[in-house]
Chain A
C-alpha cells in the first residue's frame, strides 16, 4: 500500500521542512504544493525530500490540495492520499490510524476530528466557531460529523479520483463533506491531535475566516461555479 502525504504550503519557510520529515516517517512519499509563496519554503521542502509542485500564481489551499492529490494519484500511484498541513499543527504519528480504515477496506475517506477522544487545547473562540460550523454543515450538507473544518483527512484512491475540490480557498473542508454525501463515499472519523501554538494561531486562519468560508460555500451552491 502506497501512502502519499499532500501538504499545501503558503509562506511556511521555517516550519515546512519539519512537517515534511514528520509526515515522511509514516508515508512512502510527501508532495508539497507551494502556492506561490514569497519565501523559500519550496526549497526547504525539497531539501527535506518532498516532491515539490509550484503554483505560478496563488490559488488557495483548496486548489493546492487538489493539485497535490492529482499528482499523487497520476504520478506516484498512491493507494491512499493523506491531506496534511505545513505548520506542525497536525502530527505525523496520527497518520497510521487515519490510513488504517482505508487499508482494511472499511472506508473510502477518513476524517480527522479534534473532538473525538483526545482532548485538544483548542482556544475557546475557535471552539465556538467550530461548533457553529457543525450546525451550518448539518443544515447545508446534511452530513453529521464531530468536526467539520479539520483539514486532516485520508482518501482512498477511489475517493481521490471520484471527487474534485473546486472551492479553491478555505471552504474545501465543507466541500469535501458535500462530495462525500453526493458520491456516496463511506466515511469514518478518527481522533487526531491538533496542537495550537501561538505561532500557528498568528499565522493560520483567524476565526473570522469562517465568514469567507460561508460566503464561498453559498456562492458555490447558488452559482454552480
Chain B
C-alpha cells in the first residue's frame, strides 16, 4: 500500500515536472506526450496491479509485476547501448575538433 502511494506520488511529480519543462520550452510536445502517457500507465498499474496480470498472461508471463520488470530490463539495456554509441560519436567529434584547433594554431619553427 505504501509503495503504491509513493509510486503514484512520484509519477505525479514527474508529470508536473515535464509540464514545467515544456512551458520553459525545454522539451518538445512529442516528448511531453510520451512522457505523460508513460507515467499515466505507471499510475494505472500502481492503482490496479491486477490489470497488468491480464496483459501479462496474454503474453505468456504469469504475473504483471514480472512483465514490468522484464520489459524494464530490456528497455534499459537498449537505452544503454544507444547511449554508448552516442558517446562514442561525441568523443570522435571532439577529437576532430581538438585536432582542427591544434593544426590551425600550429607553432612553427623560424
Q: Which residues on A are within 8 Å of B, measured CB to CB?
A: 33, 42, 46, 49-57, 59, 63, 66-67, 70-71, 74-75, 166, 168, 219, 223, 225
User: Chain B residues in contact with chain A, CB under 8 A?
Assistant: 84-85, 88-89, 91-92, 94-95, 98-99, 101-103, 105-109
Q: How far is the CB of B69 from chain A (nearest CB, A)?
A: 27
Cα of A33 to Cα of B99 in the assembled complex, Å = 10
Taking a contact as CB atoms closer than 8 A, the residue among A54, A166, A225 that contacts B102 in the complex is A54
**Residue from A50, A56, A66, A225 within 8 A of B109 (CB atoms):** A50
**A55 CA / B107 CA spacing, docked (Å):** 12
Cβ of B85 to closest chain A Cβ, rounded Å: 6
Contacts of A59 in B (CB 8 A): 94-95, 98-99
Flag if B98 contacts A71 (CB, 8 Å). no
Q: Classify the interface of chain A: helix, strand, loop or mixed.
A: mixed
Nearest B residue to A60, CB-CB: B95
A24 vs B89: C-alpha distance in the bound complex, in angstroms? 36
A55 vs B84: C-alpha distance in the bound complex, in angstroms?
A: 24
Can you sample 17 A-B contacts with CB below 8 Å? A51-B108, A52-B107, A53-B103, A53-B106, A53-B107, A54-B102, A55-B98, A55-B102, A56-B98, A57-B98, A63-B99, A67-B98, A67-B103, A71-B102, A71-B103, A75-B106, A223-B84
Are A63 and B98 within 8 A (Cβ)? yes
CA distance A75 to B92 in the complex (A): 23
Say yes or no: A53 contacts B95, CB within 8 Å: no
